[in-house]
Amino acid sequence: MITVLATPGTLVAGAELALEEEEQHHLTVRRAREGEAVMLLDGAGCRGTGQLRWAGKVLSVAVDRVSREPRPPAVTLAVGAGDRERFALLAEQAVQLGATRIVPIETDRTANVATRVREGTLDKVRRRSREALKQCSAAWECAVAECVGLEQFLAEAPQGACWLADHAGSAAPSLGVSDTLTVLVGPEGGFTATERDRILSAAWVPVALGPHILRYETAALAALSTAWQARHRGDG
């Protein structure tokens, strides 16, 4: 079944849903037919089903049912603001693994990356992060924050558990089902020794995420997977 994104807050059972231009375009390209059943997600906790309606060249959805899901536990992935294409890919995968917010962190080793994520390029990352909801069928979208320097990020002291992805760390501590978590992952090449000392002195917990040295994308995904398992230990 095709999944269609709705503007947040617009899903109402029994109503006719107007579609954003981009969604109409996607459906037209996929040759969606009148009456075709679709799944609906608004990225703000609502999930629904409906049927497509063509009126001339304009597509809308007759909404059948809508259900609401509670907001998932807050998981922030703060990761070096390196190459923007790799960052966008990482954001797509992070959505699948339950990240609720992604923060691009400016570090010593991202400063000279010519293709790095910058303010002007974040809208594309946001679009791809939102598009990723379709594939993983998540009801809540993942926010993508503005770029922020490491010092400022540490000064703003996130609440809840704070993990630093670190090869020299220990296995992950357990995590309550609704605990807030922030995971900090260095850029390609890692944090510098000075940055790492600074992070550890701000009481971040170094957590090892695998047996070997990980690429930053792998570390970020392993951290999210680890967090999810840490919340659900004992279910198995």
Smaller CB separation from a copy of itself, 121 or 229: 229
Smaller CB separation from a copy of itself, 27 or 97: 97
Place of tokens 């997977």: 225
Smaller CB separation from a copy of itself, 55 or 193: 193
Give dist(CA 33, CA 88) in Å, integer: 31
One DSSP character per residue, 191-208 reads: --HHHHHHHHHTTPEEE-
Helix spans in the chain (H): 21-29, 84-96, 122-136, 150-155, 193-201, 216-232
b/e map 146-163, b = 16+ CB within 10 Å: ebbebeebbeeebeebbb
CB contact at 8 A, 42 and 11: yes
Smaller CB separation from a copy of itself, 66 or 221: 221
Q: How many CA atoms lie within 13 A of 44 on its CB side?
A: 7
Least distance to a copy of itself from the beta carbon of 200, Å? 16
Helix (H, G, I), strand (E, B) or coil at 156: coil
Least distance to a copy of itself from the beta carbon of 60, Å? 26
185: left (phi over 0), alpha (psi -120 to 50) or beta: beta
Least distance to a copy of itself from the beta carbon of 136, Å? 4
Least distance to a copy of itself from the beta carbon of 189, Å? 11
Least distance to a copy of itself from the beta carbon of 154, Å? 22
Smaller CB separation from a copy of itself, 59 or 220: 220
Contact residues toward a copy of itself (CB under 8 A) are 72, 93, 95-98, 135-138, 170-174, 207-215, 217-218, 221-222, 224-226, 228-230, 232-236
**Helix (H) and strand (E) counts in the chain:** 6, 12
Smaller CB separation from a copy of itself, 116 or 231: 231
Least distance to a copy of itself from the beta carbon of 32, Å? 20
